Amino acid sequence: MPGWYACPPLTVPRDLAAFAAHLDNRPATDARPLGGGERAELLAWIRFVDRRPLDAEAPVVLADALPPALFALWTVPRPVPTAELTVHFTDALDVAPAEGWALVRIRTEHAGSGWAIDDSTIWSTSGRLLALACQARAVRHGFRAVHQD
């Protein structure tokens, strides 16, 4: 997997995620939002545009920085609002904030009956796990069921 420096920037349309203007987002795989891929998973290097350190608040923002993982399957956006977001921190930030980029993965673990469960993982550039997150989402306007292996 390439580092952030080898990944082209991704511009997220403001109507999909207005906060994306505050983040530098570089996909770390070929999977793209609305790319019609085969897996409900996105992986990207992300940092704040203002280069703030990855302090205790950063993982909360980064856990919700990528579009829903189902967007990797779809080619047309659908409303997928968050119903619940839980972020679990590790001890990685106890000593001092991490600097620069974070590697963020979001993956749909299950989707069906109008709901999706996304898990996110956030790592520092040194490979330290910063946080894990789980997000329950309501999926609108129909979709195909997803069960990850």
Instruction: Return phi, psi of residue 64, to 5°.
Output: -115, 15
Task: Record the tokens describing residue 27, joined without a space.
Answer: 């996909």
Residue 93: per-residue pLDDT: 84
Count CB atoms within 10 A of the CB of residue 50: 8
Residue 141: per-residue pLDDT: 72
Residue 39, judged by CB atoms within 10 A of its CB (0-12, 13-18, 19+), counts as middle
Residue linked to tokens 């856990």 = 63
Task: Record the tokens describing residue 18, joined without a space.
Answer: 């207005």
Query: Region 82-104: what's the mean pLDDT?
Result: 91
Q: CA-CA distance, 139 to 36, in Å (whole number)?
A: 17
Largest CA distance in the chain: 45
Strand partners, 135: 85, 118
CA atoms within 13 A on the CB side of 79: 5
Residue 77: per-residue pLDDT: 87
User: Does the pLDDT at position 127 exceed 70?
Assistant: yes
Q: Which residues of 35-99 form beta strands (DSSP E)?
A: 41-48, 82-89
Query: Region 126-133: what's the mean pLDDT?
Result: 94
Q: Tens digits of per-residue pLDDT, 3-38?
A: 655 666 666 666 655 677 889 999 999 999 999 999
